[in-house]
Amino acid sequence: MADDSANRVQAGEIAVEGVSKSYGMAKMQKEVVRGCTFTIERGKLTVMIGPSGCGKSTLIRLLAGFESPSAGRIALDGEEIRSPSRDRLVLFQESALFPWMTTWNNVMYGPRARGEAGPETVEFAEFLLQKVGLTEFRNKYPGQLSGGMQRRAELARAMINNPKVMILDEPFRGLDAMTKELMWEYYSRLFEENRRTNFFVTTDIDEAVFLADRILVMSNIPTQVRAEIEVDLPRPRRLADLVESDRANDIKKQALSILHAEAMRSFSRGSKAAADFVEAYLKRESRGS
């Protein structure tokens, strides 16, 4: 079954070319995304990291097709993105599980809505539920699940649709540290098994380094790509190994110093959130980690 599900995977590639997005008119106009160009590579896990409130979520809405860019072009496998589609499924920060459906019905929603709920799909749904450890919770409503379980149910609900690209917007934000690490393991195992194209947005550097094949470091608002870092750590990864890996720590330092420079720039423009970041960064440096 595992091989079978892997065979279904059609990984896509998204090209973002010179994309800008502004809101408001004339004088009130605010530019949120400015001239972004990057590629979400086929079968890779691309992580985008940037200071909070930098316009990452806007970028995600553009990728999902809920909004269109003011300038530039976003294309999936050469075809321009115009509207939401099952090809690009988004997991948002807050749970979007339907509260009135059980876990099972939530997972089966996509196939049923498209009239594709055959026995094969049912089998796949069972397989996915087992993968995310929710087999026993299939008849529970989202309100009965813990935060971590909800996120996992949502992962399963997205993956059953075999999207060409999975887009995740800080999906593990707000979970406690232990649950978060558990989620990383679940998630990276799912990724390693089927190598879908994944685009993962976060503000957490540890999360980024543990998960990513490639990290895009973003600037402050209006958001631009500041740097691209290849994360050439071997897979499958384990958290314990990563803590001791010099390579992982190097990457972390590299990303943090770019984020620090970014924070300094916005700090000088009066951002309080940036001040927190600068302070935390300096402390970390003085500890020599």
> Which positions lie near other proteins, rule CB under 8 A?
64-66, 84-86, 88-90, 92, 94, 96, 98-101, 109-110, 113-114, 140-144, 157, 161
Nearer to other proteins among residue 109 and residue 186 (C-beta): 109
AA letter at 238:
R
Question: Residue 110 CB, nearest distance to other proteins (Å)?
Answer: 4
**By C-beta, is 125 or 209 nearer to other proteins?**
125
Compute the least distance from the CB of residue 34 to other proteins, in Å: 25
Nearer of residues 114 and 247 to other proteins, judged by Cβ: 114
Q: Taking the complex as a whole, how short is the minimal distance between the CB of residue 77 and other proteins, in angstroms?
A: 17
Q: Which long-range contacts (CB under 8 A, 24 or more apart) does 108-117 make?
A: 108/160, 109/157, 110/86, 110/157, 110/160, 110/161, 111/160, 111/161, 114/86
Q: Quote the CA–CA distance of 253 and 259 in Å, as a whole number.
A: 10
- In the complex, minimum distance from the CB of residue 201 to other proteins, in angstroms, rounded to a whole number: 16
Measured over the CA atoms of residue 147, residue 152, residue 156 and residue 158, the dihedral's sign is: positive
Q: Which is nearer to other proteins, 84 or 236 (CB)?
A: 84
Q: What is the C-alpha separation between 200 and 24, in angstroms, rounded?
A: 28
| Distance of closest approach, residue 83 Cβ to other proteins, in angstroms | 8
**Nearest in space to 50 (alpha carbons), one of 174, 166, 200:** 200
- 219, 50 in Cβ contact below 8 A? yes
104: phi then psi, degrees, rounded to nearest 5: -60, -50
Nearer Cβ to other proteins, position 23 or 66?
66
Strands 45-49 and 71-76, by their bridges, are unpaired
